[in-house]
């Protein structure tokens, strides 16, 4: 079966489950909200539904029920390479099924046909001031393509609500196909004198991205691993939630993806991966490039904390153990770049930071998250412009966010509209005179 047929069958089977829950069990409580949660960023409030991934605080993420090692082992691999096709992962996220080799290759070819960055996007990006952050360029490049939306055309022609997911899937496939090219275009425009490398039609999603970046093997596998690891982290994180929220107004995926990129660009979220490298450079400079001693490293960590800053790459709003995305990248480093000096710094931080955060007693999770380890791999393979790193996160995160939006449309989720209260109402609820 094709992707669309598989998805159609899944959606038809799923709809009765959602409608039954709403019609017969709509009043069953799954969460109560405290004052602390209302002021504290809705932490732990269960108010979003997704079947695409689930984040267990101790175990970490599962994509469609599969752990990261299971996902990487099950998906069809690119011949001669270590990592699976990103396209196979898209299939898994969308349908919940592990695709066959033939199904994966069909999607590889489908996405190839949808490639090609419009000239007006290139012109718009070239017109931006040269100090524009790559995340602002990425967001602008995506929203500039909004005029291509198939959903908007179909909606204006009066398409029925139950079919909204079909043009939304078309939009998602079109945008997914263009994101690696958009990212590589921004990289080469900003850092390589706009010397662009044309796409290679023989290559898959990750392979073509590495080729257009101008970075040789095994960077293609780094790209595949990176996009898969960052694809989804259930729905409450800032980027995923933003994408869902914006799309709930029936804004198309171009608006939703651009907005989710804006959320990802914050230093407490995706931008932490550039912050880690910037921070480590500071440590290295202080140590005159010498290998860090544990004592010196501890001093630097305390200095950062005492100046009121967070240690980038550590802590998490949901996770309470080391992030398995961190571990997967650490395993990659141990295999491919065990002697890299920055990896040695990062690995020493893994030893030094958690006990210090525990001693400080503020962070609920002292362990490293995905961002602590991702920059070092990019640096090692020659991508030294660390303010570009979050764009890579964004290409990956778009896979999960847009898969969710397709399902939001398929299940007819309504516009999101939680209720706010005033401070006086909270004081009244608390019994404060
Ligand atoms: N370094 C220092 N202090 C930290 C910390 C860290 N890495 N992580 C948490 N804390 C502090 C918080 O700032 C907070 O302090 P205040 O009470 O003074 O405000 C306190 O510990 C409690 O925070 P928490 O409940 O443990 O964490 P939150 O859920 O509020 O925030 C996160 C989660 C990720 C924003 C936070 O851990 C952080 O700022 N980490 C560093 C930035 C980072 O790596 N972000 C990337 C996360 C992954 C991603 O989304 O990409």
In this predicted model, what pLDDT tens digit does every residue of 196-253 receive, in sequence order?
999 999 999 999 999 999 999 999 999 999 999 999 999 999 999 999 999 999 999 9
Is ligand 1 within 6 A of the CB of residue 272? Answer: yes
pLDDT of residue 110: 98
How far is residue 329's CA from residue 374's CA, in Å, rounded to a whole number? 7
Beta bridge mates, 60: 56
Is ligand 1 within 6 A of the CB of residue 263? Answer: no
Q: Angle at the Cα of 340 (from 337 to 345), degrees rounded to 5?
A: 120
Q: Retrieve residue 183's tokens.
A: 């990212």
How far is residue 240's CA from residue 257's CA, in Å, rounded to a whole number? 9
Classified by CATH at the fold level, domain 116-417 comes out as: Citrate Synthase; domain 1 (1.10.580)
pLDDT of residue 416: 98
Which residues of the chain does CATH 1.10.580.10 include?
A: 116-417
Nearest residue by C-alpha to atom 49 in ligand 1: 269
Buried-state track 396-423, b at ≥16 Cβ within 10 A, e below 16: bbbbbbbbbbbbbbbbebeeeeeeeeee
Which is catalytic among the residues 269, 323, 380, 408?
Answer: 269
Cα(299) to centroid(ligand 1), Å = 20
How far is residue 174's CA from residue 145's CA, in Å, rounded to a whole number? 10
Beta bridge mates, 314: 368
pLDDT of residue 422: 97
Q: Which residues of the chain have pLDDT under 70?
A: none
For residue 371, indicate whether it is catalytic.
yes
Which is catalytic among the residues 233, 316, 323, 380?
Answer: 316
Is ligand 1 within 6 A of the CB of residue 353? Answer: no
Query: For 37-95, how does the pLDDT look when each residue is reduced to its tens digit (9 = 90+)?
Result: 999 999 999 999 999 999 999 999 999 999 999 999 999 999 999 999 999 999 999 99
Q: How many CB atoms lie within 10 A of CB 248?
A: 17
pLDDT of residue 314: 97
For residue 244, indicate whether it is catalytic.
no
Is ligand 1 within 6 A of the CB of residue 244? Answer: no
For residue 119, indicate whether it is catalytic.
no
Is ligand 1 within 6 A of the CB of residue 136? Answer: no
């Amino acid at each position: 079966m094709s992707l669309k047929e598989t998805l159609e069958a899944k959606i038809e089977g799923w709809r009765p489950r959602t409608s039954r829950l709403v019609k017969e069990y709509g009043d069953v409580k799954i969460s109560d909200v405290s004052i602390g949660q209302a002021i504290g960023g809705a932490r732990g409030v269960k108010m979003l539904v997704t079947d695409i991934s689930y984040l267990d605080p101790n175990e970490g993420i599962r994509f469609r029920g599969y752990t990261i090692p299971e996902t990487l082992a099950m998906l069809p691999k690119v011949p001669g390479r270590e990592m699976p096709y990103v396209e196979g992962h898209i299939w898994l996220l969308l349908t919940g099924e592990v695709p066959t080799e033939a199904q994966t290759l069909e999607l590889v070819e489908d996405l190839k046909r949808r490639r090609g960055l419009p000239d007006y996007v290139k012109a718009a990006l070239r017109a931006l001031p040269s100090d524009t952050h790559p995340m602002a360029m990425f967001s602008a490049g995506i929203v500039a393509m909004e005029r291509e939306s198939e959903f908007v055309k179909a909606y204006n022609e009066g398409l029925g609500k139950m079919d909204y997911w079909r043009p939304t899937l078309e939009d998602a496939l079109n945008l997914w196909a263009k994101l690696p090219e958009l990212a590589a275009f921004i990289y080469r425009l900003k850092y390589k004198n706009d010397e662009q490398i044309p796409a290679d039609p023989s290559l898959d999603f990750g392979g073509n991205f590495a080729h257009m970046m101008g970075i040789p093997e095994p960077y293609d596998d780094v790209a595949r691993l990176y996009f898969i690891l960052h694809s989804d982290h259930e729905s409450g994180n800032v980027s995923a939630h933003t994408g869902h929220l914006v799309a709930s107004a029936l804004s198309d995926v171009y608006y939703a993806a651009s907005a989710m990129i804006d959320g990802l660009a914050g230093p407490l979220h995706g931008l932490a991966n550039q912050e880690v490298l910037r921070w480590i450079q500071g440590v290295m400079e202080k140590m005159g490039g010498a290998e860090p001693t544990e004592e010196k490293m501890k001093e630097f960590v305390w200095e950062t904390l005492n100046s009121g800053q967070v240690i980038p790459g550590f802590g998490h709003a949901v996770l309470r153990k080391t992030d398995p995305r961190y571990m997967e990248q650490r395993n990659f480093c141990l295999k491919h770049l065990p002697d890299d000096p920055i990896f040695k710094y990062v690995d020493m931080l893994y030893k030094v930071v958690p006990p210090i955060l525990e001693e400080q007693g503020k962070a609920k999770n002292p362990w490293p998250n995905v961002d602590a380890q991702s920059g070092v791999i990019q640096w090692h393979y020659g991508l030294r412009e660390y303010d570009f790193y979050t764009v890579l996160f964004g290409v990956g995160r778009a896979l999960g966010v847009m898969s969710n939006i397709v399902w939001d449309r398929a299940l007819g989720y309504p516009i999101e509209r939680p209720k706010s209260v005033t401070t006086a109402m909270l004081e009244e609820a608390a019994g404060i005179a």
